[in-house]
Structure 1
Amino acid sequence: MSIFKDNPQVVIIADSTGETAETVMRAGLSQFGLKEVEIKKYTQIEEPEQIIKVIERYKNSNCLIAFTIILPELKETLKEEAKKYNLPIIDLIGPVIEKISHFLGITPQLKPGAYREVDQTYYQRIEAIEHAVRCDDGRDLRTLFKSDLVIIGVSRTSKTPLCMYLAYHGIKAGNLPLVPEVVPPKELFTFNPEKIFGLIIDPEELRKIRRERLKSMRLDYLADYAQLKRIYEELNYSRQIMEKIGCQIIDVTNKSIEETASEILTKRRDF
C-alpha cells in the first residue's frame, strides 16, 4: 500500500537550512505527479530532544520523513524514533558522504552546514545578482557589456529569470530585449559573440505566453503584442540580429529555466 494514499506529507528534518532536502524531495515527488504534496521543514536541529519532539508530533500521520543530518548521534536518534512508530525515512545525505569518503579514502568532517559557510562563492553570487538587476532589459549598457554573458531575445523568452538563475551560480549575466522599432546598441556588435546567447521560441508558444501575460495584467489579450503577425515579425528580426552578431542561438520552446541555463553553460564550456 502506498503511503501517498490520503493527504500525504513530507517532513524534512535538517541540521542546517533544509534547502537541499526540500529540493531533492520536490524533484523526486514531481516524478509521480505529486507537485502539491505538503512539505514541513524542521531545521537547525542540534539536540536529540528536538528530533524526538518532531517525531512525536507525526507518530500517527501519513508522512514520509526525509533528513539531512550529519552527526551520528542525531541520526541514530532519528532512526530509533522513526522505527518506534513505523514511520518511513530517507537519508538524503548519509549515503552520498559515505560514497565520497570511500572514493577519496578520507574521513569526512561531519560538520553540519559546512557547505553553507560564507566564502568567496557567496560574495560572487551576491555580486552577480546585483549585476543582473542593474542591467536588466538593457537599463545600464555600460554595465551590460561588462557581463560574463549577455542574453538577447524578444519579449517573454525568459531573459530576466534566466539571468537571475545564472547569477545564483555566480555568473554575471545581463539581458537586452530585441524590438524591431529599436536599433540595438553598437556595442552589441563589437562585444565578444561567444559571450552572447540569443533566445528563440516557437511562435505559437510565444503567443500563448504573451496572452497569459496580458490576461494576468487585465489587459486585452488580443492586443497586437500577442498576435502571430507581430510575433513572427519580432522573431524574424531577432534572428537576423543574432545571425549578424554570430552568437549562439538557443530554442527555449517548452524548456525550463534550468534546462536553458544548463545548455548555455555547456556551450560556454565548449568555447
Structure 2
Amino acid sequence: MKLSLYVVSDSLGETGEQVVKACLSQFHVEDYEINRFSYVLNIEVLHEILIKASQEEKAILIYTLVNPEFIEYVKNYTKDSKLIAVDLLSPLINSIREVSGLSPMGEPGIIRRLDQAYFSRVEAIEFAVKYDDGKDPRGVLKADVVIIGISRTSKTPLSMYLANKNLKVANIPLVPESIPPRELDKVSKKRIIGLTNSPVKLIEIREERLRSLGLPKGSSYSSMQRILDEIEYAERIMKKIGCPIIDVSNKAIEETADIIISHLKKSGVKILPD
C-alpha cells in the first residue's frame, strides 16, 4: 500500500520536502507520494489538510511551521488520532532559544528572503564583471547605475563594491580617441555617475601601474599633458550629460559608494537591501 507523506509549511515547504526525500533514500520504498502544501496561513486550510491526511491508511504529516498557534493546533489534532506528525523546526528552534537566550521571530519565509538577497548579490557581481570597462555597452541599458570616467579613477573596484550592495553596475571608460557608446544617450542622467581624479594623483597611480606591468616610466599614459587632456575631455562629456561628478582623489571606495547610493536614493532609484 502506498505511503503518503504530507509536507505542510507556512512558507514554500522546500525544507520539509528535502528532509523527507533524504529520509526516504534510506529505505527501499518505491510506492510513495509526497504531497506538499505551501503557504498554509490559516487554520481552516490546515484543518482540511489534517483531515485528508487522517483518512489515509499509511500517512505521515511533516510540518515546518513557525506560527505557535498552528503548531499547537497540529499537536492537539494529532494527539487523539492515529496520524503521525513530525515537527521539523520546533525542537531546534527551542534549543537555540534556550542556549542563546534569544526569542525567535516566528516569521515564515525568512530563509527564503535571505536566499533571495544572496542570489541578487551574486547576480549583481556577475553583471559587474560582464559589463566592466565597456566590454559590452549594451549593459548600460540594464544597469541600476552607470559609472563613467578616465583610466585609474577606481571604476572597476567601485563597481564591484556596489555589486556587493545588490546594485547592477556597468562602467564605461572615457578616452579622447573614442566616442562614448550611443547607449549612454538612452540612460537617465539620474543613473549616471562621473568620476574624476586629481592630475597629480593620476600620475602617481599610472606610473605605479606601468611599473607593475614592467613598462617604461616615460609613457604618454602617465604624462601630465595626456592626463590633463583626458580630464578635460571626460568633464566635457559629463557636463553634457548633466550627471554628478565625484572627485575620488581623497576618497576611499566606501565613501564614494555611499555618495553614489545617497544620490540614487534621492533620485528615486530603488535600492535593494544588502
Q: What is the CA distance between 1:153 and its match in structure 2? A: 0.1
Q: Distance in 2 between matches of 1:150 and 1:256?
A: 19
1:155 to 141, 151, 170: 151
- Within 5 A, what are the aligned runs for 1:32-47? none
Match of 2:192 in 1: 196
Q: What amino acid is aligned across from residue 221 of structure 2 in structure 1?
A: Y
Return the TM-score normalized by structure 2.
0.57
Secondary structure in 2 matching 1:182? coil
Q: Distance in 2 between matches of 1:269 and 1:214?
A: 38
Q: What is the CA distance between 1:135 and its match in structure 2? A: 0.8
Q: Distance in 1 between matches of 2:252 and 2:98?
A: 40
Q: What is the CA distance between 1:190 and its match in structure 2? A: 2.8
2:263 to 252, 261, 267: 267
Please state if 1:210 is matched with 2:195: no
Q: Map Cα deviations across residues 8-29 of structure 1 (whole Å, 9 max, x no partner).
A: xxxxxxxxxxxxxxxxxxxxxx
Backbone CA RMSD of aligned residues: 2.5
Larger Rg: 2
Count of aligned positions = 170
2:231 to 210, 235, 245: 235
Q: Which runs of 4+ in 1 moved over 3 A?
A: 71-75, 114-118
Calculate percent identity across the aligned residue pairs: 49
Please state if 1:131 is matched with 2:127: yes
Q: Map Cα deviations across residues 14-65 of structure 1 (whole Å, 9 max, x no partner).
A: xxxxxxxxxxxxxxxxxxxxxxxxxxxxxxxxxxxxxxxxxxxxxxxxxxxx
Q: Map Cα deviations across residues 130-156 of structure 1 (whole Å, 9 max, x no partner).
A: 111111111112223210000000001
- CA contact under 8 A between 2:210 and 2:216: conserved in structure 1? yes
Q: What amino acid is aligned across from residue 161 of structure 2 in structure 1?
A: Y
Q: Distance in 1 between matches of 2:177 and 2:239?
A: 18
- Structure 1 unpaired stretches of 5+: 1-70, 76-93, 98-106
Q: What is the CA distance between 1:220 and its match in structure 2? A: 1.2
Q: What amino acid is aligned across from residue 118 of structure 2 in structure 1?
A: Y
Q: Distance in 1 between matches of 2:156 and 2:125?
A: 11
Q: Distance in 2 between matches of 1:126 and 1:238?
A: 31
Return the TM-score normalized by structure 1.
0.58
